[in-house]
Amino acid sequence: MTPIVYYDKPHQVNAADYGIEIPIVGSRPDMIHDSVIQNCPKIEIVSETRIDTPRPPLELVHSAEFVHNLLDSKETAIKELMKCYELINDDGSFNRYNPANAIADPTEALGKMFRQCEGTYIAAKMAWDKKNISPAQMVYYLGGGQHHARIDGPSGFCLLNDIALTAMRLIKEDGAGLIWIIDVDVHKGDGTAEIVNASVRGELPVQTYIGKNPEIINLSIHMARGWPLDREELAKSNGQNCAPIAPSRIDIGIESGDEANYVPKLKAGMDTILGYSGNRKPDFAIVVDGADPYEKDGLPSSALLKLSLEQCIERDMAIYHFLQAHKVPSVWLTSGGYGNAAWEVAAAFLKKLNDEV
């Protein structure tokens, strides 16, 4: 098996280009890509050049009204983008947003985000199409992982839930039976949980189940406190089944100072996934490989958990070995990661992987 890195440079979003003052550094995928070129001769890079891909079937996981807003007019679409990045305060003033500094039209960002959503499925299919090889195929997409995006709108810098959408498409279009989602971003995968739970309740176009196929088993290991878990105003305004408090099948909260137990708790969680899977063979795994648990992450809301680079590598290798032990093909998504050091986590993991395969 040759690990694949899927690099989609034309569709990277650099927040500053749109006057958005959030440390989403557009060069993160480039830095990871350059490190793979330099340090990982056993890893293949697939670069995307197509720009005319079809619109993803968003209706599988998002409400008709939200999809309508995105497609109806530039005005309604930009409003959704503003919600996504939390750019407007309750009093109508701008938050972390200075349109005067923009060098590109924000609708360009929307187009890129649509394409990144499709990119997750394209990357997943690269692994899916090799699902019978051993060791199991893994594809690392330098994009995707929008786990806060909810059924009826964006949330937490996430516009479209490419993770849940890819899982639903693998079930609907490719006949997948059992899919594991392993989310190690520092924030809880609340939007994904909301969507998976709605699917189990029969409220979405693709019905999934608990204990029989098709099934999505989602694990989220995250900060025990902090965004979005402490957003009480959000929690109060929603029912039990809605983000941010919608439960994943397996939620593991890590308290500040408990970093040494992070990997052991993750491994215990993966054992629980196995128990929930019974004797069924999993068809596919989606790894939401956020870099924001890293101690050098640049986002204030990720500061309650500080894994060292070595702990991040140990985390990712534990997932990789778990998936290989059970012969599960996988797509990995970069997800959260802020500031100028965010690229280091995936680069270090891929280097380690290169040295092992």
Tell me how far, at minimum, the Cβ of 191 lies from Zn ion, in Å: 11
Contacts of 64 (CB under 8 A, 6+ apart): none
The percent of the chain in helix, strand and coil, each rounded to the nearest 5, is: 40, 15, 45
Decide whether 162 or 283 has the Cβ nearer to Zn ion.
162
Q: Is 53 left (phi over 0), alpha (psi -120 to 50) or beta?
A: beta
With beta carbons less than 8 A apart as the criterion, state whether 199 and 208 touch: yes
Q: Is 190 in the site for Zn ion (CB under 5 A)?
A: no
Q: What is the Cα–Cα distance from 187 to 25, expressed in whole angstroms?
A: 18
Q: How far is the CB of 259 from Zn ion (least distance, A)?
A: 16
* Minimum CB distance to Zn ion smaller for 198 or for 223: 223
CA distance 34 to 30: 6
SS3 47: strand
**Would you say 174 and 144 are in contact if contact means Cβ atoms under 8 Å apart?**
no
Question: Of 93-101, 160-168, 256-264, 328-336, which segment contacts Zn ion by CB under 5 A?
Answer: 328-336
Q: Which of 162, 185, 251, 316 binds Zn ion (CB under 5 A)?
A: 185
Q: Which residue, 8 or 185, has its beta carbon nearer to Zn ion? A: 185
Q: Is there a contact between 48 and 7 (Cβ–Cβ < 8 Å)?
A: yes
Which amino acid does the sequence have at 77?
Answer: A
- Residue 27, C-beta contacts closer than 8 angstroms, at least 6 positions apart: 14, 343
Q: Which stretch binds Zn ion (CB under 5 A): 34-42, 157-165, 216-224, 330-338?
A: 330-338
Site for Zn ion in 273-312 (CB under 5 A): 290, 292
The residue whose Cβ lies closest to Zn ion is 336
Which one of residues 336, 338, 343, 347 is an interface residue with Zn ion (CB under 5 A)? 336
Minimum distance from residue 325 beta carbon to Zn ion (Å)? 27
CB of 158 to Zn ion, least distance (A): 9
Query: Of the ranges 11-19, 24-32, 53-61, 180-188, which one interacts with Zn ion (CB under 5 A)?
Result: 180-188
Provide the minimum distance between the beta carbon of 47 and Zn ion in the complex, in angstroms, as a whole number.
26
**Site size with Zn ion, rule: CB under 5 A:** 5
d(CA 284, CA 261): 27
Report the C-alpha gap between 315 and 250 in whole angstroms: 17
Least separation, in Å, of the C-beta of 221 and Zn ion? 12
- Regarding 187 and contact with Zn ion (CB under 5 A), the answer is yes
* Residue pointed to by tokens 């810098």: 157
* 139 phi, psi to nearest 5 deg: -125, 125
Asked if 226 touches Zn ion (CB under 5 A), the answer is no
Least Å distance, CB 83 to Zn ion, is 17
Which residues in this chain contact Zn ion in the complex, by CB under 5 A? 185, 187, 290, 292, 336
